[in-house]
Amino acid sequence: MKGLLLRWLILSCAIMVAAYFFTGIQVKDFGTAIFAALVLGILNAFFRPILLILTLPINILTLGLFTFVINALLLMMTSGLIGGLVVTSFWSALLASLIISVVSWLLSSFINGRGRVQSLDIELNKRRGDRWE
C-alpha cells in the first residue's frame, strides 16, 4: 500500500513538472495535481489496456510510440473531468504525456514493490593493470 501511495505522489509531481515546462498545461494547485493523478491512474487502469489492444497494429508499426498518443488522449480525458487541470491542445497533451511518462519512470525506478527507496550498487573489480570489470 505504501508503494501505491508513493507512486501516486510521484505521478502528481510529474503532472506538476509537465505544467511547469509547458504553457499548454495548467494546474491550479498541488491538490488538483493529486486529484488529477488519481483520475489519470483510474483511467489508465481501465481504459489503457483496451486502447492498447485496439491499437496494437499501429502500435507495432510505430514501435510503441503510439502509446504516447494514447497517454495524451487519457490526459485530455482527465482534464475534461478535473476542473483545475487545463490542457489546451492535443500537442500540449502529447508533450506533457512524454514528460509525465519519463519523470514517472525515472522516479518509480527507485521504488520497490513495498514502497521503499532502493539503490543500485555496482561492484567493480580491478583486473590486470588498469582495466576495471
Which is more confidently placed, 106 or 110? 106
CB 115 within 8 A of CB 1: yes
Are 100 and 70 contacting, i.e. CB atoms less than 8 angstroms apart? no
pLDDT > 60? residue 120: no
> Hey, which residues does 132 pair with through a beta bridge?
126
Question: Which stretch, 31-35, 99-103, 110-114, has highest mean pLDDT?
Answer: 31-35
Contact 21, 99 (CB under 8 A): yes
Q: Can you give the pLDDT at residue 102?
A: 86
Q: Which residues, including other chains, have CB under 8 Å from residue 81's CB and lie 6 or more apart?
A: 39
CA–CA distance, 113 with 133 (Å, rounded to integer)? 30
How distant, in Å, are the alpha carbons of 53, 62, 63 from that of 42?
18, 26, 26
pLDDT of 74-99, one tens digit each?
999 999 998 888 999 999 999 999 98
